Amino acid sequence: MKLTRRNFLKLVGALGASTFISTYKFELQEVFAQAGDYWHICWLEGADCAGCTISFAQAVEPDFISVLTEITVGTSGLPIALPDYHETIHPASGSLLEEMKKETWMKAGKKVLVIEGAVQNEGFCTVGGVDFREHVKEAAEVADAIVAVGQCATFGGIPSGSPNPSGAMGVSKFLKQVGINKPVINLPCCPAHPDHILLTLAAVMLGAMPELDKYGRPKVFFGKNMHDELCPYRPYYDRGIFKTTPGGEGCRFKMGCKGPVTWTDCALRKWNNHVSFCNETNVCLGCAEPGWPDKFSPFYKEVTGLPGIFGVSAEKLGEGLVGASIGISAIHLAKRLATKGRKKEEKEG
């Protein structure tokens, strides 16, 4: 199939990130070559841990170096995606870095703003003597596209965990508060998946805006329930075989797996050149969802035993009252709860 702006995301969905990029590498380069200008990137870091940057550096096909050296603008030999600002990897430091943001990025033709880390109350994070909140406002005002990477920038993440000592919040919430009305593409997970970052940047550069769910996440990556539609351990669940000891085998549900209330393609895409994902070695923590970590912890607690996940009691979750968003998952939980009850009765009887 020939690559067009229209079918870009469809193909991405069908092929997965790395297969897509390797299959359509030449077409992508052609499209970028026609763009005639760089897409300048400003990658801001607030209340972050640089984990998403490190995750981005784990990208394969194309890898990090290829992105920065091979996919070039026309015949210029210069990379299409040029970071003018990035604290963790940039050659420049100090005042020059700030100047490059102002003089190069802000004046560029096409500007992507990537934000890693949460936005906090005033005074908790300063960069170059200026509060991080001001950095975000200034850059968001002029950006052509805003991508929030990782759980912190999307929904506040760990820094926003109770009692939220620094008033941490996600970028879209912050922008609304300060009256900047621009769409933010949210790429949660802790850290963000390198495929998700690369493909979203590619989509933005192609002008193919991904379709987003109600939390601002591209549906192509976050449209499926992990437990119901993707998890390889699902057959165990259906047969009632559960992992209950660290060395055991079975569905991770009873250990506290958050797959049933998590929408992400981790199980399908896997991590680090597709070698594994959390459930293969322990449990899903639910890091793709808003309300993480508080609504998902204690992490070793069954979903049905959590005090009010998404503000709904376990019983109601079981009864399927959470509505369409919980979907099929709720039905299965209901089934399980029903079975649980029956077993108890049998025992008592």
Partner 1 sequence: MATVVVDPVTRIEGHLGINMETKDITTKTGTWTIVDKAYCLTNMFRGFEIILKGRDPRDAYFITPRICGVCHAVHAEAAMQALDHAYGVNPPPAAVLIRNIMFGAFYCYDHMIHTYLLVGPELGILAKYPPMVPPVLGKEGIAKLNLGSSYATCVEMQRIANEVVALWGGKAPFPVCEYPGGVTVKPTLDRIAGTIARMSKVWHFAANTMYKDILALREASKHVGEVVSSLLDINFRGFEDLGPAYPYKLSYGLFPDHENYDDWVALQNGERGRRKSAVIHAGAWDGDFKDFELSKIKEYVKYSKSADYSGGLHPSEGQTNPNPNKEGAYAWAKAPRYDDKPYEVGPFARMVNTFGLDWTFEATNPVTGESVKFEWKVMNPEGSVIDRVASRVAQTILFSTKVMEWTVELIQYLNDKIVHDKTNNFTYVPDNAEGYGLVEAPRGALLHYTNIKNRKIAKYQCIVPSTWNLGPRDDMDQPGPVEKALENTWLPKLTVPEVANALYEGWGDTLAGALVKLNPLYAKLNMEGEYNTTLPLAIVRSFDPCIACGVHIITK
One character per residue 132-171, x = contact with partner 1 (rule: CB under 8 A): x------------------------xxx-xxxxxx-x---
Site for partner 1 in 211-230 (CB under 8 A): none
Distance (Å, rounded) from C-alpha 295 to C-alpha 130?
33
Residue 227 known to be catalytic: yes
Residue 189 known to be catalytic: no
Task: Decide if residue 1 touches partner 1 (CB under 8 A).
Answer: no
Closer to partner 1 at the Cβ: 45 or 228? Answer: 45
**Which SS3 state, helix, strand or coil, does residue 226 take?**
helix
Pairing of strands 184-187, 130-131: unpaired
Site for partner 1 in 284-323 (CB under 8 A): 285, 293, 297-301
Ramachandran assignment for 157, one of left (phi > 0), alpha (psi -120 to 50 degrees), beta (any other): left
| Binding residues with partner 1: total (CB under 8 A) | 88
42, 86, 135, 152: the catalytic one is: 152
Task: Quote the DSSP letter at residue 349.
Answer: -
Residue in 4, 93, 177, 339 binding partner 1, rule: CB under 8 A: 93
42, 125, 189, 257: the catalytic one is: 257
Residue in 23, 29, 33, 63 binding partner 1, rule: CB under 8 A: 63
Distance (Å, rounded) from C-alpha 61 to C-alpha 81?
16
Distance (Å, rounded) from C-alpha 261 to C-alpha 31?
38
42, 125, 189, 231: the catalytic one is: 231
Task: Decide if residue 54 touches partner 1 (CB under 8 A).
Answer: yes
Task: Decide if residue 255 touches partner 1 (CB under 8 A).
Answer: yes
Residue in 62, 271, 288, 289 binding partner 1, rule: CB under 8 A: 271
The H-or-E segment that residue 278 falls in is helix 278-281
* CB-CB neighbours of 96 under 10 Å: 12
Residue 42 known to be catalytic: no
Shortest spacing between CB 274 and partner 1, in angstroms: 9
End-to-end CA distance of the chain: 62
Strand order in the sheet with 39-45: 81-86, 39-45, 111-116, 145-149, 184-187
Task: Decide if residue 128 touches partner 1 (CB under 8 A).
Answer: yes
Stretches 4-12, 28-36, 211-219, 278-286: which one binds partner 1 (CB under 8 A)? Answer: 278-286
* CB-CB neighbours of 348 under 10 Å: 6
Stretches 136-144, 279-287, 327-335, 341-349: which one binds partner 1 (CB under 8 A)? Answer: 279-287
Task: Quote the DSSP letter at residue 5.
Answer: T
